[in-house]
Amino acid sequence: MGAGDPLRVVLRQAELVTVCEEARCPNLADCFGRGVATFMILGEVCTRACAFCAVATGTPAAVDAGEPERLALVARTMGLKHVVVTSVDRDDLPDGGSGQFVAVLRAVRRLSPGTTLEVLTPDFRGDAAAVRRIAAERPEVFNHNVETVSRLYAAVRPGADYRGSLALLAGVKKEFPQLVTKSGVMAGLGETDAELLQVFRDLREAGCDVLTLGQYLRPTSAHRPVARFLAPEGFADLKEKALNMGFRHVASGPRVRSSFNAATLLAAVGGR
C-alpha cells in the first residue's frame, strides 16, 4: 500500500472528504503518510469559483447530518492529535454552513477530547453571527485565508471581499482573544513583494497571530496561470520581514499550505 492508503480507506468508509485530495495539495502523500488530514465538510461542490482553486463549482448537495459524528469517530479511531476542519463555500445556506462547523467541533470534543481543533472557515458573506457561532466553540486555532492581495480580489476571489476578510479576523481576535488567529497567502498570482508586505501589515493590524505563505501552483489549464515562481530565498526574506512585524509564527516556503504541519505550528505558539 502507498503512503496514506490506510487513512484513505478509513475516509472512504466513513464517506468523508479531505481538502488534501480535492485541492490537489502537493503535501498530500506526506500528510496522509503521517495519518494527518484536513477534513472538508459540507460536500465537494462549492458555490463560488475562485480562479486558483481546484474544488468543483456548482449546486451543492443537502447538508449531511451524519457527517459530524463520522468525522469525530475517524479522529478517535485514527488517534489524531490535531484536526483541521474546513469547508466549501455554502452561500446557498442561510447560515453559510456555520451550524455544521459547530456540530463537528462538538462531536470531536465529545468523542476525541484529547484532539486539538483548528477551523479554516469561509467568509460567510460577512455574517458576523456565523463567525461568532464557530469561535464560541473555542477551537484552538481560528484560520481564515485572505489568499491574495487586495488588487487581485476581483479576478482571483470573485464574491469575496479583502477588507471583509480582515474584519472577520479582527472580530474573532477582539471577542475571543485567547484563540490563535491565522491566515494564509499565496505568492505567484500576479502580486508584487511590496503588495505582499502590505497584506502582512494589514493582517497584523487585524490581530492575526500566525501567517502561512506558499507558492501558487496552477491546478489545471483552466485555472489562473502562475505569474511567477518565488525563489526559496524570496520566501525566507518575506518570512523574516513578517516576523519583524510581530507575527507569533510564520511558515513560508514553496510547499507551504495553510494546514500543512498545523499541529507543529500550534505547539510553536504555545498551544497544547
pLDDT of residue 36: 65
pLDDT of residue 162: 98
Residue 204 C-alpha cell reads as 497584523
pLDDT in tens, 54-79: 888 999 999 999 999 999 999 898 88
pLDDT of residue 16: 76
Burial (0-12, 13-18, 19+ Cβ within 10 Å), 38:
buried
Rounded CA gap, 270 and 110, in Å? Answer: 23
For residues 88-116, average pLDDT: 97
Residue 98 C-alpha cell reads as 456555520
Percent of the chain at pLDDT exceeding 70: 86
In this prediction the pTM is 0.90
**Comparing 237 with 258, which gets the higher pLDDT?**
237
Rounded CA gap, 195 and 170, in Å? Answer: 20
Q: Residue 124: phi, psi to the nearest 5? A: 55, 30
**Comparing 51 with 247, which gets the higher pLDDT?**
247
For residues 27-48, average pLDDT: 77
Which string of b and e fits 119-154 if b means at least 16 CB within 10 Å?
bbbbbbeebeebbebbbebebbbbbbbbbbbbebbe
Residue 26, Cα to own-chain centre: how many angstroms?
15
pLDDT of residue 3: 46
pLDDT of residue 29: 62
Structural domains in the chain, sorted by start: 5-268 (3.20.20.70)
H/E stretch holding 86 reads: strand 82-87
Contact predicate 117/105, CB 8 Å: yes
pLDDT of residue 1: 42
